[in-house]
Amino acid sequence: MDKLRMIGGVPLVGEVKIAGAKNAALPILCACLLTDQPITLRNVPDLQDVRTMIKILQEMGVQVSFPDATDHHHLVLNAANIKSSEATYEMVKTMRASILVLGPLLARMHSAKVSLPGGCAIGARPVDQHIKGLKAMGATIHIKGGYIEAQTTASVGRLQGASILTDMITVTGTENLLMAATLASGTTILENAAREPEVGDLAELLVKMGAKITGIGSDRLVIEGVEKLHSAEHAVIADRIEAGTFLCAVAAVGGEILVKDCRPDTLDAVIVKLKEVGLEMEVGPDWIKASMRGRPKAVSFRTSEYPAFPTDMQAQLMAVNAVAIGNSTITETIFENRFMHVQELNRLGADIAIEGNTAIAQGVEKLSGAIVMATDLRASASLVIAGLAALGETQVDRIYHLDRGYDRMEQKLTLLGANIERVK
Ligand code: EPU
């Protein structure tokens, strides 16, 4: 198993180029199932979850090609010949986002069998809202042997448009129902829809494919179903969480970096908090120049749905608070168990206590290097930031979590001058 070894205390200086967003690329890859024509994608991040999704699609019969051998971010997907509408337990257990094939398969193939994702390290994460929405659109769904078995009514064939109000805001739930609705007969209204930029990016691709969607970017999506979708080209939106992660790194470690090819307009809540921390930022249309001198100031915050502060940035900003001047409270409202990095940060000398869904951090002047273990994707990023800020050597084990969601993180950090290496 790979590990990352780093010697902390070196300021970050230089430029970093942000990749396409993992959480936009995953639903966008699944959208290819909605048509028998090719979909060309650019700016697809080269990371483990994307490779897993490609494998799932290939098992269904989707042809995936890389037209330019030197560019792994440019893909063409062709789902003309679907030979299986099944996502197996073996695949879904490695990546919950596999549930995103359910809506498109049901819409185009009129049946789907997808393993029910189990619990997850950060929370129970049920998919009841996905199922409830598809049932409202006329699907018959049974859970059998751990699988979601879904069919449209044989006499009608297509899903039927419906008004759907989800009980909570769900990102992949909105994406699944949005994709399903594009090929339904009649109009679907999705109320309480997630407004995350990744949902908007998926919707933009669907419109290019011929879908009729209004309300993109709002919490009310109206989809007028069409009979067929067609070929399209799309570049995946920049990863706001990767950009935010590098901004937190410079806030904790110090230095001056230029974050390139990002979308500052999707980072408002993160930028507001990092200004409070004392990070100096100049913001352009697709870049952020950030510099930090001295120790950060502690900031309290709570996570919530977009446009509020993202849960996917909670662990990274907590690493900044760990070395900040002052105390902070961090409240996690999206997932019930997303504080597993706290014990590991404390092994590096942080002083953080958990009370229910709130973490209380007393900033310390210096962390000291240690061996720590990554428990999930964003927790890994938090430990890397803390390790880069700590005195001496830190080793982050189980780095496969990081590889699921960051495109060459340690290479990018090395280019910024960090003393970090991957150990096999
Ligand atoms: N929920 C339900 N029932 C449902 C769906 C969701 O109870 O049917 C609950 C969840 O348990 C959770 C809350 O609603 O408490 C929100 O979950 P959501 O469905 O929005 O999360 P998700 O779609 O499974 C996506 C991202 C996550 C990100 C969350 C929140 C993808 C592939 N994943 O997950 O990304 O944290 O939205 O923004 O888009 C990550 O990248 O590290 C990551 C975990």
Q: What is the 3-state secondary structure (H, E, C) of 219-244?
A: CEEEEECCCCCCCEEEECCECHHHHH
**Considering the entire predicted model, what is its pTM?**
0.98
The amino acid present at 325, given as its one-letter code, is I
Q: Is 378 in the pocket of ligand 1 (CB under 6 A)?
A: yes
Predicted pLDDT of residue 167: 97
Mean pLDDT by 10 residues, the chain (424 residues): 95 98 98 98 97 96 96 97 94 93 97 88 88 97 95 86 98 98 98 98 98 98 98 98 98 98 98 98 98 97 98 98 98 95 98 98 98 95 98 96 94 98 94
Token pair, residue 27, equals 């639903």
CB burial string 135-148: b at 16+ within 10 A, e below: ebbbbebeeeeebb
Q: Is 152 in the pocket of ligand 1 (CB under 6 A)?
A: no
Q: Is 273 in the pocket of ligand 1 (CB under 6 A)?
A: no
Nearest CA, atom 5, ligand 1: 127
Ligand 1 pocket test: which of 99, 166, 334 has the largest number of ligand atoms within 8 Å of its C-beta? 334
**100/86 Cα distance (integer angstroms):** 12
* Catalytic status, residue 120: yes
Tell me the CA–centroid distance for residue 110 and ligand 1, in Å: 25
Q: Is 97 in the pocket of ligand 1 (CB under 6 A)?
A: yes
Could you tell me whether strands 232-235 and 220-224 are parallel, antiparallel, or unpaired per DSSP bridges? unpaired
Atom of ligand 1 lying closest to residue 305 CA: 38
Predicted pLDDT of residue 123: 80
Q: Where are the beta strands (DSSP E) in 71-170?
A: 75-78, 86-87, 111-115, 140-144, 147-151, 163-165
Residue among 48, 42, 120, 113 at smallest CA distance from 82: 113
Predicted pLDDT of residue 120: 76
Q: Is 312 in the pocket of ligand 1 (CB under 6 A)?
A: yes
**386/321 Cα distance (integer angstroms):** 10
Radius of gyration of the chain (CA): 22
Q: Is 45 in the pocket of ligand 1 (CB under 6 A)?
A: no
Tell me the CA–centroid distance for residue 125 and ligand 1, in Å: 7
Q: Is 129 in the pocket of ligand 1 (CB under 6 A)?
A: yes
Residue among 423, 373, 369 at smallest CA distance from 8: 369
Catalytic residue among 32, 120, 248, 262: 120
Q: Is 125 in the pocket of ligand 1 (CB under 6 A)?
A: yes
Ligand 1 pocket test: which of 172, 242, 400 has the largest number of ligand atoms within 8 Å of its C-beta? 172
Tell me the CA–centroid distance for residue 354 and ligand 1, in Å: 22
Tell me the CA–centroid distance for residue 390 and ligand 1, in Å: 31
**96/103 Cα distance (integer angstroms):** 14
Token pair, residue 202, equals 């998926």
